[in-house]
């Protein structure tokens, strides 16, 4: 399921309220008040989502460190897998990690 960013809720809420304000200038009935309340609710939901996301990102979990890049000079045995980068013993013909031919 796709997550909807809090700013989208805020923009839709503002557009709802602005639309209600525009249409109530041309009409005198209060039938559009529900949309005005819905716009306010959308703004509150958007602000809440953005606040929760800000708190999660501030306390956030540490991100995984990037995998090291192996090169022939960095490998202790002088051999590495060209497909996955795993260090291989000098006598190996196939990678012990992914099975690729060395």
* Cα distances (angstroms) measured from residue 34 to each of 15, 27, 46: 14, 15, 18
The string of DSSP codes covering 25-54 is: HH----TTHHHHHHHHHHHHHHHHHHHHHH
Q: Quickly state the pLDDT bin for 29 (edges 50, 70, 90).
A: low
Percent over 90 (pLDDT), the chain: 5
Work out the average pLDDT over 37-51.
90
Q: Is residue 73 part of a domain?
A: yes
Segments forming the whole domain that contains residue 88: 67-102
Summarised one tens digit per residue, pLDDT across range 62-80 is 666 677 665 555 545 567 8
Tally of helices (H runs) and strands (E runs) in the chain: 2, 2
Q: Is residue 1 part of a domain?
A: no
Q: Is the pTM of this model over 0.85?
A: no
Residues 72 and 54 in one domain: no
């Amino acid at each position: 399921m796709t997550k909807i960013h809090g700013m989208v809720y805020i923009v839709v809420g503002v557009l709802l309220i602005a639309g209600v304000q525009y249409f109530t200038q041309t009409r005198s009935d209060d039938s559009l008040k529900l949309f005005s309340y819905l716009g306010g609710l959308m703004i509150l939901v958007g602000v809440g989502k953005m606040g929760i996301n800000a708190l999660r990102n501030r306390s956030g979990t540490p991100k995984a460190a990037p995998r090291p890049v192996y090169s022939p000079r960095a490998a202790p045995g002088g051999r590495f897998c060209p497909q996955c980068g795993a260090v291989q013993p000098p006598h190996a013909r196939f990678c012990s990690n992914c099975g690729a031919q060395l």
